[in-house]
Amino acid sequence: MLRPLKLDARADAILVNSSPEDDLSSTGVPSVNVTYAGFEGEAHSGLTRASCIRVRRQYTQGTEIRNTRQISIISVEDMAVVADTMGVDKLEPEWLGANLLVSGIPDFTKIPPSSRLMFDGGVSLVVDMENGPCQYPGEIIERHHPGKGALFPKAALGRRGVTAWVEREGHITAGEAITVHIPPQRIYEFAT
């Protein structure tokens, strides 16, 4: 049974990347239509995607698989810790290629897989997994904070946010409240 958390959580910003050929940076929008394929206008939307290095143990790169990485979500709180660790005053969600910037969810990157983010307007997003840090945001950060971009992957470890997929379609507006539903957790152990 999923239990809702009563947090003062909200969507602080909505962003889309409609031109990934330039880089992974995204652009803020006041609201977005959400379909089962993801955010309308977002380059990472789609019901399926080509497998990448993240699933190299399961699939040959380029194999068509279900797209559970439709949406990249980061938190205000995690970004502040990463910026502080890097020794910069601020990081912008656009530089990280984020689609949603949320606040009010403690240790957001640690939110377990299958958690639901339920928006007041009806949209439901299901957390797939932690979004591991990579070098690409560092390249964008370097433009804004010279000499600091290479610090991003290590500083963002465990604080890079999560990826999610759409469970219920609708519309999200910046500032919208979010209810968090966490599934029961247990540690999986097996004898070797």
Residues 101-158: pLDDT tens digits?
Answer: 999 999 999 999 999 999 999 999 999 999 988 888 999 999 999 999 999 999 999 9
The structural domain count of the chain equals 1
pTM flag (> 0.75): yes
Rounded to 5 degrees, φ, ψ at 23 are -175, -175
Tokens of 67: 């797209």
- Which domain CATH number covers 111? 2.40.33.20
Contact 63/50 with Cβ under 8 angstroms? yes
- Does 123 fall in a domain? yes
- Does 190 fall in a domain? no
- Does 15 fall in a domain? yes
**pLDDT band at residue 64 under the 50/70/90 scheme:** confident
- Does 189 fall in a domain? no
Per-residue burial over 75-84, b = 16 or more CB atoms within 10 Å of its CB, e = otherwise: bbbbbebbbe
CA–CA dist 127, 115 (Å, integer): 5
pLDDT at 55 over 80: no
- Does 188 fall in a domain? no
- Does 143 fall in a domain? yes
- Does 187 fall in a domain? no
pLDDT over 70, % of the chain: 94
CA–CA dist 175, 76 (Å, integer): 13
**pLDDT band at residue 3 under the 50/70/90 scheme:** low
- Does 25 fall in a domain? yes
Which domain covers residue 35, as residue numbers? 3-182
Contact 111/125 with Cβ under 8 angstroms? no
Tokens of 171: 């519309």
Burial of 184 (0-12, 13-18, 19+ CB in 10 A): exposed
